[in-house]
A and B are shown apart, each in its own frame.
Chain A
Amino acid sequence: MQLQRVAVTGIGAICGLGNNLNDVWANAIAGKSGITTIERQDTSAWPVTFGGEVKNFKLSEELMPLKEQDRFDLFNQYALHAGDEAIRQAGLTKDTYEASRIGVVLGTGLGGFPHIEMHHKTFLEKGARRVSPFFIPSVIPNMAPGLMAIHFGFRGVNYTTASACASSAHAIGTAAMEIMLGRQDAVVTGGTEAVITPYTIAGFASMKALSKRNEEPGRASRPFDVGRDGFIMGEGAGIIVLENYEKAKARGARIIAEVVGWGATNDAYHITSPHPEGEGTVPCMLQALEQAGVAKELVGYINAHGTSTPVGDVAETNAIKRVFGDHAKKLAVSSTKSMTGHLLGAAGGLESIFCIKALETGILPPTINLENQDPACDLDYVANKSRKVDIQYALNNSFGFGGTNSSTLFKKV
C-alpha cells in the first residue's frame, strides 16, 4: 500500500504568550515568559498561585453565540478559537473536499474540569433537579471536536485522544495516519486544555509535581536548570490543519511543513515517573525516525517534553543521548515550556507548532531561565536566546502520566 504524504497547511495558537499565532511565536522567539500570577480567580487558598494563564480572551460570537458561551467550558472555546485561526490560514472549508473526508481529531488531558467543579457544587447545594442539561455536553472531552464539526460542517472522523500530557501529540499522530492511509483528505488536529482551577492545582500540588516558586512566576519554569522544582500549569490550544500533500498542492494551498514520522510507546514502568534510562522514550523517538526513513544526523532540532521537573528533564536527556549518539551534542534541544508553562493535553499541539515554525523560519525558540545548567543535562538547550539555524527535520517529544510517549517528526518544505 502506497502511503500518502501529509502536509501542514494551517496553524492556530493561544496560550499565555498570546491569543494568536503571530503573538505566540513573536514572544517565544523573543524569549518572553507567559507565566504570571493567576488573575482570573481568587487564589488566596491555593498552594500554587501562578501559571501560564491566557489573558483577555473573548470568543468571537461568530464561532459561538453569546447565549451559549456560558454553557461550554473553556477548553471547547480555546479549541474553536485556535481551530478557526488554523482553518482560515489553510483556506479549508467543508467544500474543499468531500465533507465526510474532512475530520477533527483533538487531544485533551482532562476535558471540562472547571465545569465539573461548578456543576458538582450546584448538585451538592441544590440537588439533582438543578443540575444543568448542559453539564454533560460542556465537559465531555470530545465536545471540542464536536463543536468544530458542527460549526465548520466537517463530517469526517471526529474524536478526542486522552493520554494526559501527550494527548495532543497522539491526536496529531493518529490524524496523520488517517491521511497517510488515504482515509481522510484533511484533518484538523492538535489539542486544547483549560484546567487552571483550585481542584486540579491542588491535585497536581499533592503529587509534588508543581513548582512552588510563587514569588517569581516568570522565573519558575526552568527546564534543565539546577534550580528547577516542578512544572507550571499552562492553558490554551495548539491546532494545525493536516492535508493530503498532493491534494493540498493541487488546490494551491500553501504547504508550511510535512509530517513524516510518528512513534508511540509506553515506559511500562511507573504511573507518573519516567523510566530513568528511557526504555520507553528511546524506541518512541526511533520509531518516528524509522517510519520516515530519516538518518538521525538530519534532525536539527528537538522540542523537548522538558517539563522542568527534577527527574523528567534528566531522563529525557539520557534518552536523547541513547537515540542520537554523537549527534546528540550537535543538535539543538529546547523546552518552550520555560515560556508557556505546561499545557498538559494541549502541549503536544502547541509544541508541534514551535517545531513547524522553526522549520519554516529557521529560528529555534529558546529554553529561558537556563542560568545554571544541571551537569546531568549536558545537551545544547538553546539557552535563553533564540537562534537562527536552517534545519531540515524537527522532532516533538510529548510524554504523559501512565507512562505514555509520543514523538512526531516534521520536515521542512
Chain B
Amino acid sequence: MEVQDKVIKLVSEATKMDAANISINTTFVDDLNLDSLDMVELMMKMEDEFGVEIPEDETENLKSIGDVVNYLKTKSH
C-alpha cells in the first residue's frame, strides 16, 4: 500500500470518517476538527505504523495529510 493510502486509512480509523472523504489536501484542524490531544494520539499511530519517531516540534508543521505523507517519505529515505 502506498504511504498516502496508509495514512488516509489510519486517519479514517481514528476519526471514524469515511476514507473517501479524506484526500491529500485534507487538514487536521480545519477539515477534521482535531484538537491537540487528537493530534498526539494520531502521531502515535503514525509512529507505530511506519516505525519512525516524529519529534514533537516536527508535529507542529504537519497540518494536512499531504504534510504527513511528505514527511514520512523524507524519513524513509
Residues of A within 8 A of B (CB): 65-67, 129-130, 132-134, 137
- Chain A hits for B44, CB < 8 A: 129-130, 132
B51 to chain A, nearest CB (A): 13
Q: Report A-chain residues with C-beta under 8 Å of the C-beta of B14.
A: 67
Within the complex, the shortest CB–CB distance from B49 to chain A, in Å, comes to 13
Complex contact B15–A67 (CB within 8 A): yes
* Contact (Cβ within 8 A) B16 A137: no
Residues on B with C-beta less than 8 A from A67 are: 14-17
Knowing A130-B44, A132-B44, the reply to whether A137 touches B37 (Cβ < 8 A) is yes
Interface bits B1-37 vs A (CB < 8 Å: 1, else 0): 0000000000000111100000000000000000001
Q: How many residues of B contact A (CB 8 A)?
A: 10
Partner of B16, one of A66, A129, A132: A66
Residue B41 at the chain A interface, CB threshold 8 Å: yes
Chain B hits for A134, CB < 8 A: 37, 41
With the chains together, A243 CA to B34 CA distance in Å?
Answer: 37
- The yes or no answer to B40 lying at the interface (CB within 8 A) is yes
**Chain B at the A interface: mostly helix, strand, loop or mixed?**
helix
Give B contacts to A, CB under 8 Å: 14-17, 37, 40-41, 44, 47-48
List the B residue with the shortest CB-CB distance to A61.
Answer: B16
Taking CB atoms, residues of chain B closer than 8 Å to A132 are 41, 44
Q: What are 18 inter-chain pairs, A to B, with CB distance below 8 A? A: A65-B16, A66-B16, A67-B14, A67-B15, A67-B16, A67-B17, A129-B44, A129-B47, A130-B44, A130-B48, A132-B41, A132-B44, A133-B37, A133-B40, A133-B41, A134-B37, A134-B41, A137-B37
For the complex with contacts A67-B14, A67-B16, 16 further pairs of A-B residues with Cβ separation under 8 Å are: A65-B16, A66-B16, A67-B15, A67-B17, A129-B44, A129-B47, A130-B44, A130-B48, A132-B41, A132-B44, A133-B37, A133-B40, A133-B41, A134-B37, A134-B41, A137-B37
CA A137 – CA B37 in complex, angstroms? 10
Q: Inside 8 A of B41's CB, which chain A residues have their CB?
A: 132-134
A4 and B16 alpha carbons, distance in the complex (Å)? 47
Most buried by A among B14, B17, B37: B37
Task: Determine the chain B residues whose CB is within 8 A of the CB of A65 once the complex forms.
Answer: 16
CA distance A133 to B39 in the complex (A): 9
Q: How far is the CA of A132 from the CA of B15 in the complex (A)?
A: 15
Smallest CB gap from B15: residue in A: A67
Residues of chain B within 8 A of A133, CB atoms compared: 37, 40-41
Q: Which residue of chain A lies nearest to B48 when distances are taken between CB atoms in the complex? A: A130
Q: How far is the CB of A386 from chain B (nearest CB, A)?
A: 44
